[in-house]
Amino acid sequence: MERILKIPGDVMEALRLPPDEVETELRKELALALYQRGVLSSGKACALAGMTRWEFEEVLGRRQIRRHYTEKNLEEDIEYARSHQ
C-alpha cells in the first residue's frame, strides 16, 4: 500500500531547497525521524530514504542519532558473518 503525503503549497514554497532535491530530502528527513523514534527499523528507514545502509549509517553518525542495535543484533550479525565466510 502506498500513501501520498500532501504538503501545503506555502510550506513547499518556504523550503530552502532546490526543487529537484525536495522529495529526496523530505523522504530522508522522515526516515531519520521515524527511525530515531523507533517507529521504523533501519532497513525500512533506508528504503524510505532511498539510501544504502552505509549512506544511512553515515547520516546517523553525522546527526548523532543513536542506533537501535542490541546485543541480540550483534550475535545475529556475527553468526551471519561466520556462516558466509
DSSP-derived 3-state class of residue 43: helix
What pTM, to 2 d.p., does this model score?
0.79
Q: Under 8 Å CB-to-CB from 67, ≥6 apart: which residues? A: 42, 57, 60
Neighbours of 11 (CB within 10 A): 8
Residue 77, domain member (yes or no): yes
Q: Hey, what's the cell of 78?
A: 556475527
Residue 57 lies in a domain: yes
Instruction: Establish if 79 belongs to a structural domain.
Output: yes
- Residue 12 · residue 35 · CB < 8 Å: no
Number of domains the chain contains? 1
Domain that holds residue 76: 25-83
Per residue of the chain (85 residues), give pLDDT as tens: 899 999 999 999 999 999 999 999 999 999 999 999 989 988 899 999 999 989 999 999 999 999 887 888 788 788 888 988 7
